[in-house]
Structure 1
Amino acid sequence: MMAWQLVLRHLRVYRRSWFVFVTGFLEPVFYLFSIGVGVGAMIRGFDVGGVLVPYAAFVAPAMLATSAMNGAVMDSTFNIFHRLKYAKLYDALLVTPMTTRDVAIGEVTWALLRGGIYAAGFLLLMVAMGLVHSWTAVFALPACLLIGLAFAGMGMWLTTFMRSWQDFEFVTLALMPMTLFSGTFFPITGFPPLVRWIVEATPLYRGVVLCRELTTGLVTAASGVSVIYLVTMGVAGMLLARRRLDRLLLH
């Protein structure tokens, strides 16, 4: 498949700049130790599905979902914008037998791999810290891949509308509130009904709920809703990104 050639190209590039690759993994780790462990020493925990979950075990799966999001967003926004507008990588690729469909699949696959690597490392850290309480946690890594798919597909599509680096302030503006308020550090039950409905409609919240249910073993019907939501968002984003690439690069 031609899309894998693009994935291999990115692997060669990051082999020489591995430190840049690692930095995206560190932010959720710092959050886990500072808030999950530090603040957790003063907070008993929260009720999840009728079970009291220790605070660190409550925050950890949320940071797991956040690490998957960070890995996918890093490549599907900033890096794709550079390749599209400055490096002109896609113009060169389309001279070959590669199509815009291959470009979209290749970029989303790479972003998915990056998010998955971050998530795998974070999940191992959770196991080492004793923050995994159920065998269903083995499905947390596939769940993180779904989170990566959702953010990579939609991120790539939205990036095709960016006009300059200043536009990426909107990316930060969207990610920071999601990181802070998507049920990551406290339950959303304290929000007013309208605010709670808005939060529940965000992709990171769906990812947080899915990872938390899997790592605690408290799986409910909400898990199925989250899976459908994330898959739909990812596929839709990838299809829309391909259409935008057709318009930008072939017309």
Structure 2
Amino acid sequence: MLAVHSWRVFRRNCYLSTRTWWVFLSGLVEPLLLFLSVGVVVGNAVHPDVSDAMPTGDHAYLRFVFSGLLAVGVMNGAIYESTLNFFYRYHHLRSYDVVLTSPLTSRSVVIGEAMTAWLRGILYGAIYGVIGCSFALINLPQFAAMLPWLPLGAFGFAGLGIWLASLMRSWNDLELVNLVMLPMVMLACVFFPLSAYPQLIGDAVRWLPLSMLATCMRGVQDGTMDRLAAAGLAAFALVGMACLWRAVAKADRLLLRS
């Protein structure tokens, strides 16, 4: 019954997303603007041989940045849905006060919210993949090869976001999430390769969740998959599952409080 009830929460959220489609599209704006400003404008000033880790050929830096921003889109979709939207629904709208008078349980609500965040992360990544195909930055086989990695990254961020939302007590706590996400976008392997860092800093940046997802996307794009990053991304998905389990464990205290 838990799976059935979670599916109903997930289906409800999907229906509401079709009624508030502008909220869904708003999360696509930031990476798209970064792609057009940094990738297109700044990319014209970047020499293609600036690093051995850069791809070669026409629009080399644009293709390099694209795979990183695709990873940013996955992170944004999953994190914003699991933190901002979930917190808004249960803390401000109190949407689940009525829902929980039905046979639905608080645990099914949390799992349904995680499923919604997971799907949004995947959809954002898929939409950016379509944009990349339209710009001829990737081809269809590369796009198809990227798709299996999107659920791993989205699930890790969704589980982490649900757990963070369960710890929030006010809107000010959401600023702490942005305080972590923005530096991670700038420091992870999105705009420059890992080899640009000193060895010690590079070893730390390598294990950022966004770096691992961006490295996997770039590996599919270039045909040079980093097995260490792939294993790290799988481990991050397990971390997301553990975070989700912690959030589910405290679901009653979170949603049934007076």
TM-score by length of 2: 0.89
CA distance in 2 between counterparts of 1:113 and 1:176 reads 22
Choose the corresponding residue for 1:153, options 159, 162, 169: 159
Superposed CA RMSD in Å reads 2.0
Equivalent residue number for residue 224 of structure 1: 230
Give the secondary structure class of the aligned counterpart of 2:128.
Answer: helix
Distance 1:249 1:19, change over 3 A: closer
Q: Is the 8 A contact 2:55 2:222 kept in 1?
A: no
Matches within 5 A, 1:170-189: 170-189=176-195
Please give the per-residue CA displacement for 1:9-28, whole angstroms capped at 9, x wherever unaligned: 11222222211210101211
1:245 and 2:251 matched: yes
Contact 1:210 1:222 in 2 (8 A): no
Deviates more, 1:175-184 or 1:10-19: 10-19
Correspondence for 1:164 among 167, 170, 190: 170
Name 1:125's counterpart in structure 2: 131
Say whether residues 1:97 and 2:103 are aligned partners.
yes
1:115 alignment counterpart: 121
State how far apart, in whole Å, the 1-side matches of 2:198 and 2:154 are: 29
What corresponds to 2:209 in structure 1? 203
Q: Tell me the number of residue pairs that the alignment of Structure 1 and Structure 2 aligns.
A: 250
Matched, 1:2 2:9: no
Of 51, 55, 63, which aligns to 1:57?
A: 63
Once the two structures are superposed, residues 59-88 of structure 1 have per-residue CA deviations (whole angstroms, 9 ceiling, x without a partner) of 001000001111111110011111221222
**Which amino acid counterpart does residue 197 of structure 1 have in structure 2?**
D
Asked if structure 1 preserves the Cα contact closer than 8 Å seen for 2:216 and 2:226, the reply is: no
Closer, same or farther: CA 193–247 of 1 in aligned 2, 3 Å = farther
Distance in 2 (CA, whole Å) between partners of 1:51 and 1:82 is 42
Q: Which residue of 1 aligns with 2:91?
A: 85
Give the fraction of aligned pairs with identical amino acids, expressed as a percent. 33
Aligned to 2:35, which of 19, 27, 32? 32
Matched residues in 2 for 1:136 and 1:240: separation?
36
The CA deviation at 1:135 is 2.9
Q: Aligned to 1:235, which of 236, 241, 245?
A: 241
How big is each residue's C-alpha offset from its partner over 1:113-172, in whole Å with a ceiling of 9 and x where there is no partner?
111221111101111111116834313123122221111101110111111111111111
AA matched with 1:8 = R
Q: Which stretch of structure 1 is more off in the superposition, 220-229 or 182-191? A: 220-229
CA distance in 2 between counterparts of 1:77 and 1:179 reads: 18
Q: TM-score, normalised by structure 1?
A: 0.91
Tell me, in whole angstroms, the C-alpha distance in 2 between the residues paired with 1:86 and 1:30.
Answer: 30
1:12 aligned residue: 15
Q: What 5-or-longer segments of structure 1 have no aligned partner?
A: none
C-alpha distance in structure 2 between counterparts of 1:178 and 1:129, whole Å: 26
Name whichever of 52-61 and 223-232 sits farther off. Answer: 223-232
CA apart distance, 1:93: 2.9
Distance (whole Å) between structure 2 residues aligned to residue 2 and residue 9 of structure 1 = 11
